[in-house]
Amino acid sequence: MPHIPVSPTTPGIRGLFDFRPETGAALKKLAHVLLHGESPLTKGERELIATFVSHGNGCKFCTMSHAAAARFHYGADSDVVDAVVYRNDRSGVSELMSVLLDIAERVRIGGRNVSDELVAKARALGAVDRHIHDTVLIAAAFCMFNRYVDGLRALTPEKFEDYVPMGERMATLGYSFEVPDATR
């Protein structure tokens, strides 16, 4: 049960955004820019980083919802998401993406854990400043989002099927949007 009053029909972080719209608007915009704005990383790769970090933090809602969005972006290769997140199998991603996931994991543990050597390894594989920046900021933001959702015990659907339409909506519309209550 959530620690604050949220709509029983608005699960996860969206219910928290609705509780305090003035902070919700800023957080939605941040998520939208990070996951749908311009980046050398694809939307699927960015969602994969968000999912990976959320899983590492044990945040079920963020893991499940962003995994659903990542699967949508990966399309026919959607099993890559589960391989990376649940089986620690990175064979379906590029070597650069694997190193970026290592960077995201270091950020998840603590930002100062990102070493010069790890950044140099990413650069040697073709990473530019924006790869490094966006990976670190997505990982850091999702640490905050995960703690926000879990710290207030946001409503978390239990069924896998509940996340599929949520992930499709996130993948297609992004995060800086409003939908009528009936479609939530």
Tell me the pLDDT tens digit for each residue of 127-163: 999 999 999 999 999 999 999 999 999 999 999 999 9
| Domains along the chain with CATH numbers | 15-175 (1.20.1290.10)
Q: Output the six-digit token pair for 10.
A: 């608005």
Local confidence band at 177 (pLDDT 50, 70, 90 cut-offs): low
Give CA–CA dist 66/15, Å, rounded.
Answer: 16
- Is 178's pLDDT higher than 70? no
Alpha helices in the chain (DSSP H): 12-19, 21-36, 43-56, 60-74, 79-87, 95-109, 116-124, 129-151, 160-173
Specify the pTM: 0.94
